[in-house]
Copies of this chain bind each other. A is one copy, B any other.
């Protein structure tokens, strides 16, 4: 297991962690100021800056991009909606390429409005990823399926376990360096009794683990989306999960992604970055 104290360069800051306070340019400047060497970008923030300028800022600052958030959201009520989603996903792939991102993060999408057809939505996700993968391989951008917590199954992502994401990878792109893999976020996966086994399974295919995200599960949690905790403030044994991920061969960055409308989004972003760095060293 890696000694994080000796490897500050492994910390990546996801733009969502300070999304209420900073745009893309401020994020780049802030990370440089704090000696953070990688970021994860979000499409809306990149769009505000313009993708070319955003990419230049990243390059000039010497930052790595651990992931671009996010593609996905495949299911739609009709064929036109699915086509629109696929076109938008191709643009997201292009952005990830321009930014030099390790991968485009895919959040599956939930049920089309009014639908109760969970299996149908999951089929749409599989077909959507298959179609996008052809394009992404041409542009040489990896796609990372991020299973989301089951509480998002209806409205955000109907891929809710690492087993499901691994199954999709096995069906759509088996083998190493296939261009399709998974992003693991402790917040979404920590409760799963199959997690250790599924992380090992992901690790058996070289390169399938494309990202590792950390935050914490607060007790109580007061909002389904925007009440995530700073690492160390909740119930998740992050080092244990990290040990499984690294035993599976993952050697990439550890990305702090914290949606926190009640707390961290209200704080001075320089304080947020300082706390992230400290918690990265001490509790991850």
Task: Give A contacts to B, CB under 8 Å.
Answer: 111, 115-118, 122, 149-151, 153-155, 158, 160-161, 163-164, 190-193, 217, 219-222, 224, 234-237
Contact = CB atoms under 8 A, between A and B. Distances in A.
Question: Of residues A117, A118, A158, A236, which shows the largest number of chain B Cβ atoms within 10 Å of its Cβ?
Answer: A118
A214 to B, nearest CB: 13
Contact of A150 (B111, B150, B164): B150
A193 to B, nearest CB: 5
A219 B158 CA distance: 14
A217 to B, nearest CB: 6
A160 B224 contact: no
B151 A164 contact: no
12 contacts: A116-B236, A116-B237, A118-B190, A118-B235, A118-B237, A151-B151, A153-B190, A153-B217, A154-B234, A164-B193, A220-B224, A221-B224
Contact of A224 (B111, B193, B224): B224
Contacts of A150: 149-151, 191-192
A257 to B, nearest CB: 18
Contacts of A151: 149-151, 221, 224
